[in-house]
Amino acid sequence: MPTRRWGLAAGVLNGILYAVGGYNGTNIVATVEAYDPATNAWTAKASMPAGRTGLATGVVDGMLYVVGGGNATHAYDPATNTWTTKALMPTSRHSVAAGVVNGIVYVVGGYRSGDLGAESTVEAYDPTTNTWTTKAPMPTARWGLAAGVVNGILYAVGGAGVDGSTLATVEAYDPESNTWTAKASMPTARDGLAAVVVNGILYAVGGGFLTTVEAYDPATNAWTTKAPMLTGRRELAANVVNGILYAVGGADANWMELAKVEAYQPATGGEGPNEPVGFTPYTDRSFDGMIEGGWAAQRESVPGGLGTVPIIVSDPSAPISPPNVGQITYPAGFTGAGYAPAQTFKDTTPNLGWKQVYVRFAVKLSSNWESHASGVNKIGFVWMHDNPVVYFSAQGQGPGSAPLFSELRLSSTPDGEVNLTQNLADPEFTRGQWHVWEVLLIANTGGLANGEAHWWIDGVKVGGYTGVRYANATQPNLWGGPEISWFPTWGGENGTPVAQEMYMWMDHYYLSGKP
Q: Does the pLDDT at position 484 exceed 90?
A: no
Q: Does the pLDDT at position 493 exceed 70?
A: no
**Domain spanning 280-514 has what CATH number?**
2.60.120.200
Percentage of the chain modeled with pLDDT above 90: 64
- How far, in Å, CA of 40 to CA of 23, rounded? 23
Q: Does the pLDDT at position 348 exceed 70?
A: no
Could you tell me the residue ranges of all domains in the chain?
A: 9-264, 280-514
Tens of pLDDT, residue by residue over 194-210, are 999 987 899 999 999 99
CATH topology of domain 9-264: Neuraminidase (2.120.10)
b/e sequence 175-185, b meaning 16+ C-beta within 10 Å? beeeebeebeb
Please say whether the beta carbons of 327 and 312 come within 8 A: yes
> Which band of pLDDT confidence, cut at 50, 70 and 90, is reported for residue 321?
confident
pTM for the model stands at: 0.61
Report which of 377, 401, 409 is spatially closest to residue 504, judged by C-alpha positions.
Answer: 377
> Which band of pLDDT confidence, cut at 50, 70 and 90, is reported for residue 114?
low
Q: Does the pLDDT at position 388 exceed 80?
A: no
- How far, in Å, CA of 213 to CA of 253, rounded? 17
C-alpha distances in angstroms, 483 versus 99, 135, 308, 382, 419? Answer: 37, 49, 21, 7, 22
Q: Does the pLDDT at position 371 exceed 60?
A: yes
Please say whether the beta carbons of 45 and 34 come within 8 A: yes
Average pLDDT over residues 506-515: 91
Collapsed DSSP state (helix, strand, coil) of residue 312: strand
- How far, in Å, CA of 434 to CA of 453, rounded? 23
> Which band of pLDDT confidence, cut at 50, 70 and 90, is reported for residue 349?
low
Please say whether the beta carbons of 464 and 299 come within 8 A: no
> Which band of pLDDT confidence, cut at 50, 70 and 90, is reported for residue 268?
low
DSSP state of 178: T
Edge-to-edge, what's the strand order for the sheet holding 170-174? 146-150, 153-157, 170-174, 179-183
pLDDT of residue 463: 95
Whether the upstream peptide bond of residue 323 has omega within 30° of 0, thus cis, is yes
pLDDT of residue 383: 82
Report which of 265, 143, 138, 254 is spatially closest to residue 201, judged by C-alpha positions.
Answer: 265
Q: Does the pLDDT at position 115 exceed 80?
A: no
> Phi and psi of 352, rounded to 5°?
-60, -30
Angle at 91 between CA 207 and CA 121, to 5 degrees: 60
Please say whether the beta carbons of 59 and 79 come within 8 A: no
Percentage of the chain modeled with pLDDT above 70: 95
Q: Does the pLDDT at position 398 exceed 60?
A: no
pLDDT of residue 130: 98
- As a whole number, the mean pLDDT across the chain is 91
The CB density around residue 305, as the number of other CB atoms within 10 Å, is 8
pLDDT of residue 339: 83
